[in-house]
Amino acid sequence: MRISSGLMMDRYLRQINNSYAEQAKLMEQSDGSNLHRPSDDSVKYSRYLRYQNSNTENLQYQDNVNAGISWMKTADSAMVNMTDIYTTLKEKTVDAANDTNGELDLVAISKEFKAKLYEIVSLGNTQQGDRYVFSGQSDLTQPFLVSVEEKDRGLAKTLDDPQSAFFLNPTDTKNLNADDTGSLTQMLTLQKDGQDYYLNTMNGKIYTKEFVQEGYKDKVAHGQTHVAEGDEVATIPFFSTDALKVAGYFENTGVIRTEAEVQVSSEDKPRTIKFGESIGLGAGETAVADTTVWIKNTSTGDVRVVAPGNTITIDPDNEVTTVGVPLEATMYSSGKVVNIVSNSTVYPLSAASSYNKDETVSLGLYQAMADADVAIVDAAGNTVSTVKAGSLISTGAGQSIKVLSDETHIVKDPATVTSHSSGETINISTDPNDVTFANVSVTVTYTATDASGNPYTYTQQYAAGSAIPTTGTVTMDADGEVTVIHHNTLESEVYETGSKLNLSSGSGESAVLPSADVMIKNKNGDARIVKAGNVIELGADETEAIIIGKPQGTLEFDSFATIKQPIVSYQGDAKYISMVKLNGTVDQTADTVNATGQDLNGSDIFDDANSGNQTTIMSNGRLCYVSSGTAMINNMFTVCAKLEAGDNHWMTTDGITVADVSHETVTRAQSSTAARQNVYDSVAVMLDKQNEGITSDLNDVSATDVAELAVKLMAAQTIYNMSLSVGGRILPPSLADYLS
């Protein structure tokens, strides 16, 4: 086989090029990596990319953790200083409570006290770079501002542990008197004729100052462990519903509200209306207010409240409105009550009538029930029989009811009344349970048959108030009213106050509780009170009727107690910042690096979950309710204001407890941040170890063995040089070589 010089040349050049490429590839690995492109080693390159991504993510985690640790160290340092100041303020509060201090001594203490409070506010505005560490996610906004002028803030009664344990009644299922933490820590202070009273805003019960301060101890000494029905002096019942909350009177910082924004349907812009004034709605008009609106029926005395934001409609002829709910409380007694109901869903009951002992009542054609025992007497006043409470009462000719006790209520049969003209023919009910009469005489025409079997007619006149027979044609003798009494529809039930009435929504069922007020709630959060003796029906949107108690009178309070003081407001938000995860949900325990105003200051009676003053945010995919973010610091400004007023007694009864709670709140926030910082420190160590592992994996998969590379490179260079030398000897000379 003949091999041409050209073929030899091609083979030689291909081999020399391959040798050069191998040498170049080895030279490329001199940077320490044997992987520069997928073709170098596809399996190893795939592993290399995976390790590289893990390394990039781990480095980002490390940056986040280091930033988080730095953030938390700044916040922790500020909170440690706050804790130290609160400790000092606790000590000063205890000193101020000493009876030996005069008014001037307390004023002197208040000056240093106030300076320390402003220092706490300044610490609350601590920054990390240009970001505020306690502003939540609004960290470019200064979180805490102090009002220049002093404002009227509600004066809360802060309960100590024994008081809280007594007034939190775990068996009170009717009106659970606990806040969102499951404890009762504060009440609002009401004033009447210069005296203080305390209002439990969970259920509206009002207690005397003496009872809350000292009187309850006598109850405890006699074996009563918790507050009971009757310990209160009066009740504002709407506080037990969603319609009336602390927000109906106070802002979330505790500043008392004096006016509301009301948008009337017929007006272009909302109006500002002072509390206690009427909205003045006309026929067909509706309104929406940013506070609770009180509506009274001037005919029945029933009252209702419309929750903030709900539509307000009234009957202008019978109802009047008031912006805000008057501080009018009812004195109730508890016990058994007789409920009188109609078993008819067609014929509603009428309101009960009240009578006192020895009064007589004529029923006429009616049947009735009473909520107390009554006697049936004849025309001479002799007792014929006695009818028990809740039993059906019927009287015969010449008989009447004699009332045996004061405040006896009587409910008559339901009746239907229609108006008719003189000469008009009317239809008479044929229901055997119905009895019909008119307030004017009527003529009844009868058809009969004589002895011969011939028909004939005759008439008979019935006097006003007489029962009209169901046969014959009835003609009105004059203009008047016809009443149909529906007998055998009355039934009675006995309930305990605080229980729910057995009525169905929108059913047409009616009832009368002659001696007890009833609270009716609806789905929208509105509520109404049906006064004792008035007719009770549940509308389609109304959910339940609860027996409040037997009204014994009312107390009208002058106002809430307030005190002038600086007010701190929070401009940040309650959202947490995560500096660990690149994506996904936030685990507050392990991921968040910040504390918010809500963490530093907790909540109080003005902004807890039951106050109606909390705002809503979306956090971790959930709708959350958040407080003002300034509760504790504003409470401490209240302590300062009381010091300035020289109120040594208040320091003893309230001030020490307020200072303790404030100190505990910021300490809890500092401990939580410190715990999370420990988590981050652990995570930082873990990430360092992960980084070492990932680096090792990268080296294993991509690092070059230098000794092996040197040997291979020397061998490649030797082969390449030898190839050049040999090629020069064996390749045939070219034409250029001959010509040279």
Residue 585 has a pLDDT of 52
Please determine, for residue 54, whether its predicted confidence score (pLDDT) is greater than 50: yes
Burial group, residue 20, by CB count within 10 angstroms (0-12, 13-18, 19+): middle
Domains plus CATH for the chain? 82-147+576-678 (1.20.1330.10), 351-413 (2.60.120.10), 415-486 (no CATH)
Average pLDDT of the residues in 89-94: 94
Residue 675 has a pLDDT of 87
Scan for tokens 């988080």, then name that residue. Answer: 68
Calpha distance 529→520 (Å, rounded):
6
8 A C-beta contact, residue 106 and residue 126: no
pLDDT tens by residue, 536-584: 999 999 999 999 999 999 999 999 999 999 999 999 998 888 776 544 4
Average pLDDT of the residues in 695-721: 62
CB neighbour list of residue 332: distance below 8 Å, 6 or more residues apart: 234, 235, 497, 517, 548, 549, 550, 551, 552
Q: Within 13 Å and on the Cβ side, how many CA atoms surround 168? A: 16
- Least confident interval from 88-97, 419-428, 438-447, 614-623: 614-623
Please determine, for residue 204, whether its predicted confidence score (pLDDT) is greater than 80: yes
Provide the pLDDT confidence category of residue 175 given band limits of 50, 70 and 90.
Answer: very low
More confident residue, 574 or 693: 574
8 A C-beta contact, residue 518 and residue 548: yes
Residue 114 has a pLDDT of 96
pLDDT tens by residue, 462-518: 999 999 998 889 999 999 999 999 999 999 999 999 899 988 888 888 899 999 999
Calpha distance 664→672 (Å, rounded):
12
Please determine, for residue 201, whether its predicted confidence score (pLDDT) is greater than 70: yes
Please determine, for residue 348, whether its predicted confidence score (pLDDT) is greater than 80: yes
Please determine, for residue 736, whether its predicted confidence score (pLDDT) is greater than 70: no
Average pLDDT of the residues in 60-77: 87
CA distances, 207 to each of 230, 529, 587 (Å): 10, 22, 44
Residue 582 has a pLDDT of 46
pTM of the model: 0.82
CB neighbour list of residue 581: distance below 8 Å, 6 or more residues apart: 591
CB neighbour list of residue 63: distance below 8 Å, 6 or more residues apart: none
Calpha distance 632→434 (Å, rounded):
68
- Least confident interval from 90-94, 173-177, 282-286, 362-366: 173-177
CA distances, 437 to each of 190, 363, 421, 483 (Å): 55, 13, 15, 5
Average pLDDT over the chain reads: 86
Provide the pLDDT confidence category of residue 255 given band limits of 50, 70 and 90.
Answer: very high
More confident residue, 79 or 625: 79
Provide the pLDDT confidence category of residue 623 given band limits of 50, 70 and 90.
Answer: low
Average pLDDT of the residues in 614-622: 66
Residue 523 has a pLDDT of 93
More confident residue, 171 or 661: 661
Please determine, for residue 311, whether its predicted confidence score (pLDDT) is greater than 70: yes
Residue 429 has a pLDDT of 86
Residue 728 has a pLDDT of 60
Calpha distance 101→649 (Å, rounded):
11
Residue 422 has a pLDDT of 95
Residue 275 has a pLDDT of 95
Beta bridge partners of 369: 411
Q: What percent of the chain has pLDDT over 90?
A: 64
Calpha distance 566→37 (Å, rounded):
69
- Least confident interval from 53-62, 103-112, 440-449, 605-614: 53-62
pLDDT tens by residue, 403-415: 999 999 999 999 9
Calpha distance 602→580 (Å, rounded):
26
Q: What is the DSSP string of 301-366?
A: --EEEE-TTSEE---TTTEEEEEB---EEEEEE-SEEEEEEES-SSS-----EEE-TT-EE--TT-
pLDDT tens by residue, 427-450: 888 888 999 999 999 999 998 888
